[in-house]
A and B are shown apart, each in its own frame.
Chain A
Amino acid sequence: MTDPKAPIAPAFTTLNPEAEAARASRNLWLGLALFGFVVIVGAITAIRLAEAAKTGDAEFYYHMGDKGERIEGDGIVALPPGMAAEETDQAPESPESEVETP
């Protein structure tokens, strides 16, 4: 009867040179594919951000208040799409500021 606490001898497989070369080649291509995927996702992100900067779509996020409302220099508060004026406490608390829904 074998001792259950005895360490198990690991079984190693030694690849012959041809198998090793084939595996190295597959690994290289897999690595290149993964790298390419990362580059593509990065490129898409960069292009999307550049396009958004051109159209001003991204500008919203640079002037956003705590409630997600757009705050501009002249005190005008514009709400993000789908947000009602009642949902923000900006309008009742600051009577001098206007609330615009885009």
Chain B
Amino acid sequence: MTEQTAPLEKRYATAGDYVQLLKPRIMMLVVFTGAAGLVAAMGVTGTGINPLMAIIALLAIALGSGGAGAINMWYDSDIDAIMTRTSVRPVPAGLVPRSEALAMGLILSGVSVMLMWMASNALAALMLAGSIIYYGVIYTMWLKRSTPHNIVIGGGAGAFPPVIGWAAVSGHAPLDAWILFAIIFFWTPPHFWALSLLAHGEYEKAGVPMLPVTHGAKATRLQILLYTIVLLPVTLTPLLTGLGGWVYGLVAGALGLVFLSFALRVFRSRAGDEGCTGAEKKLARNMFLFSILYLFAMFAALIVEHGAGLYVPVGGI
């Protein structure tokens, strides 16, 4: 009998490392926006859903997001190893083999779609499958490494959850659901580009054609401002259709103005340029952090209005 001793490593993979493959912070935002779509659909359409089925539908959205995240970590492990921010992820850190990340991604994706179908309906399950393919294949394997528009087009993947949540309740995806999609779609570029202004050197090193790498920081700051200007009226369209009431209107309006002021200040700054000051870097970082709060607050307002009975219509058409 031959006996070998496993080589001593610095540490061994734990269950927590496998959880990190699922990108838990993105998952939380995805689940939250999905929940907002679900609750808004109940309030607007008057359709009910068994509470346990609603929780399982949200779990399916979470698992789908995690599965797509694991596929992303599998495919991007080469560029993740180059960038400092991502080099500590489980695959480039050598804790989880690439094959296991892929297997986990595929299994979770399949399970999530199946659970969604069982707990709700075929439309929600198909849209969940579509969003996983959108993120795991179209964005990760194609757009991310081939075009500076990667974030703009790829943002569609993260915009699906409220539509899926809506479809899980009602079996339909009406205009109101797509308005929620549009809010996230137009929010994603200024949100992500604010961060990429700080990390463009890393993306350049890894050969990822993010906008600050291909067009420079100045063009990126302009695009952040333009997308923010487009985003503001989009966030107010729920008031026109009756999806959002006074609470939503106040939150979206007030925080939208703060977000616009961030975009203006970033536009006027030299954030991302060679030799920009620490304060300018901090400004871009604060805009990135505020963007998360902004989206969270708007969707929380919808949940409060439709879930807690605080909906008071502004008018609408």
Contact = CB atoms under 8 A, between A and B. Distances in A.
B2 A22 contact: no
B79 to A, nearest CB: 27
A40 B59 contact: yes
B6 A9 contact: no
Given A18-B11, A22-B12, A44-B119, A11 B2 contact: yes
Nearest to B59: A40
A67 interface: no
A26 B96 CA distance: 12
A44 B118 contact: yes
B11 A9 contact: no
Contacts of B3: 12, 14
Contacts of A16: 5-6, 8
Contacts of B4: 11-14
A41 B194 CA distance: 42
| Chain A contact patch, size range | 20 to 34
A15 B59 CA distance: 35
A40 B14 contact: no
Contact of A47 (B5, B8, B14, B52): B52
A26 B2 contact: no
A15 B6 contact: yes
A17 to B, nearest CB: 11
Given A12-B1, A40-B56, A40-B115, A19 B50 contact: no
A43 B52 contact: yes
A9 B14 contact: no
B111 interface: yes
B317 interface: no
Interface in A38-66: 40-41, 43-44, 47-48, 51
Given A11-B2, A47-B52, A25 B8 contact: no
Contacts of B230: none
A37 B111 contact: yes
Nearest to A12: B3
12 contacts: A9-B1, A9-B2, A11-B4, A12-B4, A13-B4, A13-B5, A13-B6, A19-B9, A22-B14, A23-B12, A40-B59, A41-B118
